């Protein structure tokens, strides 16, 4: 791509040479020829890049072509998705793939050793990479990418433009048992399903369990990191971000536009209201309603309270010392009082 094309595409203002060839993106401090970088703040910079995306208020001289845009990091992400399209394997539909006759597979790529079950439909533009298992009666929308060695159980629905990273397991049985008279556990039926809406990304080796009787749902545009656990009947809204190793227990609801840090644990039947932000390693008790705002700690508290409590904790040593001194002063006063 030429710098002019990029500037037009991003509706940016080009300063410099509009005929520079750009082939990939790079970080500003390590970029070299043919590469485009970005700058978050309107400060002077030195870079080997052939072009740099800068904020609108940038008014420095630059040693290379610059393109002024409102949000350089966002536009950098956009141009990167064009310069670095997802790589296709060397084949379209590998001869080793085992695809049920009743399946309707229009995917662009079906890798080696993939298996696809009865009555499953995979829409056009999808990439199903090597060794992934797609069960029976699964529906997958357009242009979704299932990376290698994933397992999608029967009856799951996945929308369009989703990315499921390697080793993720979607639709395994939820974890629900009923004890009998002797304390032996019998599985509560786990015959519901999982519905993943459009533009969702799910990280490597994460697990999304099927609903017990109803559905587990992940809303449009939600992004889930690696090694995350989503239990049965959880409902996650749109544009939610969940960082690595967090676990959401059964029937909990996370509304739209929440941000959940890493290693957070949520009990069952909790509700996180739209816009809430929960810090890493926090714990949400079962049934808890988490209001909008920033939350921290176990059990979660508003960040301000958490900080105040932590400051008080730090002050305990001093308070203890003070109580000791007061005790002595008090004893002295009492003694004097008695002497009178």
- The nearest distance, CB 55 to its own copies, in angstroms, is 14
**Rounded distance between C-alpha atoms, residue 274 and residue 287, angstroms:** 16
Q: Which is nearer to its own copies, 62 or 114 (CB)?
A: 114
- The nearest distance, CB 61 to its own copies, in angstroms, is 25
Q: Which two tokens stand for residue 8?
A: 């037009």
| Torsion on CA atoms 143, 122, 248, 287, rounded to nearest 10 | 110
What is the maximal distance between C-alpha atoms in the chain?
A: 105
- The nearest distance, CB 185 to its own copies, in angstroms, is 6
- The number of beta carbons lying within 10 Å of the beta carbon of residue 314 is 9
Backbone angles phi, psi at 139, to 5 degrees: -120, 125
Q: Which two tokens stand for residue 27?
A: 């970080």
CA distances from 104 to 88, 110, 196, 273 (A): 21, 13, 19, 39
Q: Which is nearer to its own copies, 293 or 315 (CB)?
A: 315
- Annotated catalytic residue, options 127, 147, 232, 235: 232
Catalytic site residue 232?
A: yes
Nearest to 126 by CA among 138, 143, 140: 143
Q: Which two tokens stand for residue 218?
A: 């992940």
Q: Which is nearer to its own copies, 289 or 333 (CB)?
A: 333
| Torsion on CA atoms 325, 327, 330, 334, rounded to nearest 10 | -140
Q: Which is nearer to its own copies, 42 or 279 (CB)?
A: 279
- The nearest distance, CB 76 to its own copies, in angstroms, is 7
Q: Which is nearer to its own copies, 62 or 163 (CB)?
A: 163
- The nearest distance, CB 330 to its own copies, in angstroms, is 6
Q: Report, as residue numbers or ranges, the catalytic residues.
A: 232
């Amino acid at each position: 791509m030429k710098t002019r094309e990029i500037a037009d595409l991003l509706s940016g203002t080009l300063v410099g040479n509009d005929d520079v060839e750009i082939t990939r993106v790079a970080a500003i401090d390590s970029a070299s020829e043919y590469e485009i970088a970005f700058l978050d703040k309107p400060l002077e910079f030195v870079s080997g890049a052939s072009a740099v995306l800068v904020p609108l208020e940038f008014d420095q001289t630059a040693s290379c072509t610059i393109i002024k845009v409102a949000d350089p990091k966002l536009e950098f992400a956009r141009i990167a998705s064009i310069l670095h399209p997802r790589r296709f394997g060397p084949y379209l539909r590998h001869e080793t793939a085992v695809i049920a006759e009743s399946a309707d597979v229009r995917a662009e790529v079906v890798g080696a050793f993939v298996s696809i079950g009865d009555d499953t439909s995979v829409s056009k533009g999808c990439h199903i990479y090597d060794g992934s298992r797609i069960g029976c009666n699964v529906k997958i929308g357009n242009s979704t990418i299932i990376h290698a060695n994933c397992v999608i159980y029967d009856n799951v629905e996945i929308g369009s433009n989703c990315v499921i990273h390697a080793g993720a397991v979607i639709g395994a049985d939820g974890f629900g048992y009923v004890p009998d008279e002797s304390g032996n556990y019998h599985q509560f039926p786990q015959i519901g399903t999982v519905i993943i809406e459009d533009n969702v990304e799910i990280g490597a080796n994460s697990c999304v369990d099927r609903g017990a009787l109803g559905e587990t749902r992940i809303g449009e545009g939600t992004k889930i990191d690696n090694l995350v656990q989503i239990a049965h009947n959880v409902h996650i809204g749109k544009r939610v971000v969940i960082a690595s190793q967090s676990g959401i227990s059964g029937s909990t609801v996370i509304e739209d536009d929440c941000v959940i840090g890493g290693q957070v644990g949520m009990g069952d039947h909790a509700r996180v209201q739209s816009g809430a932000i929960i810090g890493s390693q926090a714990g949400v008790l079962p049934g808890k309603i988490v209001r909008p705002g920033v939350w921290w700690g176990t059990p979660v508290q508003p960040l301000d309270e958490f900080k105040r409590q932590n400051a008080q904790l730090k002050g305990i040593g001093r308070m203890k010392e003070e109580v000791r001194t007061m005790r002595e002063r008090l004893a002295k006063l009492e003694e004097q009082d008695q002497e009178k």
